[in-house]
């Protein structure tokens, strides 16, 4: 995979932009982030404005090294310490008690803060040269699909965003795994590249899903990560049949499948995303963007295997799909389902 080379000059320009209170989009191993100086509330507010994101949604603070954590985090429980040692730098975000100096615009007014140490070399270079925390959500308009390539960031913001660092394709392709480390039981709030089993190898007591005391994680609202075209999840055995219901009416259909099509059909755009979860995840958002532009009536997504390596993908697909197909997010229901030992879907 090509990682575009970034010049020292580009890093320096980005650092100056951040210091001046401007926004900089930058690559991470998960998705591109829309960054601002985390110590400058005015700069962080620009993120919300550009994304058209509601102000009560907290943002993740990115650091190049855990040694800067005390500026942001009040105390780090031993479970968080262990997870950080195992997975940083990497696609893991930890939610902990905020330090007093952290501004409300970062935390959405809650008493917690989310932090992450990304591994992408360009993110590392930028953070290191900047020498402070960078607040960054994914670099997309609110509710849209996250960007995994530099051209996706351009598509989202056009001329409204001056500085975008090109780091090539994001290797993971899905947003970081979020773990809430408050109290004694760490909770998985958003599945990502680091799977539940891997987390449990480090912290066996870790559980999946929110409970009523868990801070709000607005990225967990049901409809999120969505293309403009309606998305439907379809069981594998029904895929061709559902497709035919549209194409027999000469309606165009876009399909994201785990296999090639059974028959050719001039009303369909079919992407075979393959059966490797890491490759599927890396290309998922690029594929959804492609299918969204196909001028189709609907995007049909073949259901993915019911195995843990597909958890994060299944989670994002459900959210991309329309309201009829998703479990509506309700913290009480989520807690109840977690209690019942079901996939405690936050």
The residues binding Mg ion (CB under 5 A) are: 138
Q: Which residues pair with 95 in a beta bridge?
A: 114, 180
Binding span for ligand TXA by CB under 6 A among 11-19, 112-120, 306-314, 324-332: 112-120
N- to C-terminal Cα separation, the chain: 33
CA 292 to chain centre: 19
> Could you tell me the smallest distance in angstroms from the CB atom of residue 237 to ligand TXA?
34
Tell me the three-class secondary structure of the chain, residue by residue.
Answer: CCCCCCCHHHHHHHHHHHHCCCCEEECCCCCCEEEEECCCHHHHHHHHHHHCCCCCCCCEEECCCHHHHHHCECCCCHHHHHHHHHHCCCCEEEEEEECCCCCHHHHCCCCEEEEECCCCHHHHHHHHHHCCCEECCECCCCCCCCCCCHHHHHHHHHHHCCEECCCCCCCCCCCCEEEECCCCCCEEEECCCCCHHHHHHHCCCCEECCCCCCCCCHHHCCCCCCCCCCEEEECHHHHHHHHHHHHCCCCCEEEEECCCCCCCCCCEEEEECCCCHHHHHHHHHHHHHHHHCCCCCEEEEECCCCCHHHHHHHHHHHHHCCHHHCCCCCHHHHHHHHHCCCCCCC
Residue listed under structure tokens 């509601």 = 54
Nearest CB to ligand TXA, comparing residues 31 and 253: 31
Considering the rule CB under 6 A, would residue 28 count as an interface residue with ligand TXA? yes
Considering the rule CB under 6 A, would residue 143 count as an interface residue with ligand TXA? no
Judged by CB under 6 A, the residue of 37, 40, 112, 283 near ligand TXA is 112
Nearest CB to ligand TXA, comparing residues 155 and 303: 155
Q: With CB cut-offs between 5 and 8 Å by kind, which of Mg ion, ligand TXA, none does residue 116 bind?
A: ligand TXA
> Could you tell me the smallest distance in angstroms from the CB atom of residue 306 to ligand TXA?
24
Binding span for ligand TXA by CB under 6 A among 7-15, 174-182, 279-287, 290-298: 174-182
> Could you tell me the smallest distance in angstroms from the CB atom of residue 135 to ligand TXA?
9
Considering the rule CB under 6 A, would residue 265 count as an interface residue with ligand TXA? no
Number of residues that bind ligand TXA (CB under 6 A): 26
Nearest CB to ligand TXA, comparing residues 26 and 270: 26
Binding span for ligand TXA by CB under 6 A among 9-17, 28-36, 157-165, 235-243: 28-36
Binding span for ligand TXA by CB under 6 A among 106-114, 196-204, 226-234, 333-341: 106-114
Nearest to 59 by CA among 138, 159, 153, 161: 138
Neighbouring residues of 220: CB distance < 8 A, sequence distance ≥ 6? 189, 190, 210, 329, 346
Considering the rule CB under 6 A, would residue 148 count as an interface residue with ligand TXA? no
Binding span for ligand TXA by CB under 6 A among 78-86, 160-168, 172-180, 243-251: 172-180
Judged by CB under 6 A, the residue of 37, 107, 148, 283 near ligand TXA is 107
> Could you tell me the smallest distance in angstroms from the CB atom of residue 252 to ligand TXA?
31
> Could you tell me the smallest distance in angstroms from the CB atom of residue 143 to Mg ion?
9
Binding span for ligand TXA by CB under 6 A among 216-224, 290-298, 320-328, 332-340: 216-224
Nearest to 38 by CA among 117, 128, 103, 133: 133
Considering the rule CB under 6 A, would residue 156 count as an interface residue with ligand TXA? no
Considering the rule CB under 6 A, would residue 226 count as an interface residue with ligand TXA? no
Q: With CB cut-offs between 5 and 8 Å by kind, which of ligand TXA, Mg ion, none does residue 77 bind?
A: none
Where on the chain is the footprint of ligand TXA (CB under 6 A)?
28, 30-31, 33, 57-60, 93, 95, 107, 110, 112-114, 116, 136-138, 175-176, 178, 215, 217-219
């Amino acid at each position: 995979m090509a990682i575009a080379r970034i010049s020292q000059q580009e890093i320096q320009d980005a650092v100056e932009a951040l210091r001046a209170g401007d926004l900089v989009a930058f690559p991470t191993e998960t998705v591109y982030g829309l960054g601002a100086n985390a110590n400058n509330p005015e700069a962080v507010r620009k993120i919300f404005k550009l994304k058209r994101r509601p102000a009560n949604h907290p943002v993740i603070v990115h650091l190049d090294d855990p040694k800067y954590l005390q500026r942001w985090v009040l105390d780090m429980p031993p479970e968080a310490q262990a997870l950080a040692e195992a997975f940083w730098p990497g696609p893991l975000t930890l939610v902990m008690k905020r330090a007093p100096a952290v501004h409300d615009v970062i935390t959405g007014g809650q008493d917690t803060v989310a932090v992450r140490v990304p591994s992408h070399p360009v993110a590392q270079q930028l953070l290191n040269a900047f020498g402070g925390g960078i607040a960054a959500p994914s670099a997309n308009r609110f509710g849209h699909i996250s960007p995994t390539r530099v051209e996706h960031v351009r598509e989202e913001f056009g001329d409204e965003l001056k500085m975008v660092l090109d780091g090539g394709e994001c290797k993971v392709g899905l947003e970081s795994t979020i773990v809430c480390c408050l109290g004694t039981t760490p909770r998985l709030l958003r599945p990502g590249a680091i799977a539940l089993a891997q987390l449990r190898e480090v912290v066996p007591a870790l559980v999946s899903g929110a409970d009523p005391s868990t801070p709000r994680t607005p990225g967990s609202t049901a409809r999120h990560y969505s293309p403009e075209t309606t998305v439907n999840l379809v069981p594998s055995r029904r895929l061709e049949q559902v497709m035919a219901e549209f194409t027999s009416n000469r309606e165009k259909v876009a399909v994201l499948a785990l296999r090639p099509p059974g028959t050719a059909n001039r009303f369909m755009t079919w992407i075979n995303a393959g059966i490797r979860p890491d490759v599927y995840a890396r290309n998922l958002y690029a594929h959804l963007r492609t299918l969204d532009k196909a001028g189709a009536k609907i995007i049909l997504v073949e259901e993915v295997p019911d195995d843990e390596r597909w958890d994060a993908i299944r989670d994002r697909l459900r959210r991309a799909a329309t309201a009829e197909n998703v479990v509506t997010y309700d913290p009480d229901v989520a807690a109840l389902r977690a209690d019942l030992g079901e996939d405690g879907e936050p």
